[in-house]
């Protein structure tokens, strides 16, 4: 509607809400095409399940609110700690690991939990990761 108003009608309900101009919203970043890493969902799900319990929930300890995933040609390792517990899990899959070339940055616990939820029931897909200067991207649904 005019002046960015939105009207929603459903059944007998009729609601009007004030909106904002499209220009006021930040532009969504584009998934990078360079430096994409593909990881089978089964391996990623296992790594998260074996380490997420050791990630701190305390907001004041933000340096411990993530996990480190290290990708090497011979293995994939995920490590997490909350200052009291330490969890580490290593996957040895040479077919998967041969395409990895670099280490990845820590990811926050909420993002890992969300990815883990999205991975439930997905056994044959791969998860693609890429990053730019300020964003870590993930996408699924493409073959590895």
pLDDT value of residue 111: 72
* 2 in any annotated domain: no
Q: Which residues pair with 5 in a beta bridge?
A: 18
DSSP state string for 70-108: EE-SS-EEEEEE-SS-EEEEEE--HHHHTT--S----EE
**Would 25 be classed as within a structural domain?**
no
CA distances 26 to 15, 22, 45, 81, 106, Å, are 26, 9, 31, 34, 25
Q: Long-range pairs for 118-125 at CB < 8 Å and ≥24 separation? A: 119/41, 119/44, 119/45, 119/48, 120/45, 122/41, 123/41, 123/42, 124/41, 125/40, 125/41
> What range defines the domain where residue 82 resides?
32-142
In a domain, 4, yes or no: no
Which domain CATH number covers 50?
3.10.150.10
pLDDT in tens, the chain (144 residues): 888 888 999 999 999 999 888 888 888 888 888 888 888 888 888 888 888 888 887 777 777 878 888 877 777 888 888 888 888 888 765 555 444 444 444 456 777 777 777 777 766 677 787 888 888 787 776 443
Residue 14 lies in a domain: no
Q: 5 in helix, strand or coil?
A: strand
How many structural domains are present in the chain? 1
Q: What is the pLDDT of residue 72?
A: 77
Q: Judge whether 1 lies within some domain.
A: no
**Is 112 a domain residue?**
yes
86 in a domain, yes or no? yes
Place of tokens 């969902």: 41
**Is residue 17, in this structure, part of any structural domain at all?**
no
pLDDT at 107 (0 to 100): 56
């Amino acid at each position: 509607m005019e002046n960015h108003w939105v009207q929603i009608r459903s059944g007998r309900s009729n609601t009007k809400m004030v909106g904002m101009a499209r220009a006021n919203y930040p532009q969504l970043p584009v998934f990078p095409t360079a430096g994409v890493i593909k990881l089978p969902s089964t391996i990623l799900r296992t790594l998260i399940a074996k380490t997420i319990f050791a990630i701190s929930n305390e907001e004041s300890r933000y340096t411990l609110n993530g996990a480190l995933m290290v990708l090497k040609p011979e293995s994939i390792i995920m490590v997490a700690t909350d200052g009291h517990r330490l969890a580490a899990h290593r996957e040895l899959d040479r077919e998967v690991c041969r395409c990895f070339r670099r280490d990845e940055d820590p990811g926050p616990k909420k993002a890992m939990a969300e990815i883990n939820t999205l991975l439930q029931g997905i056994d044959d897909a791969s998860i693609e990761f890429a990053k730019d200067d300020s964003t870590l991207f993930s996408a699924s649904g493409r073959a590895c």
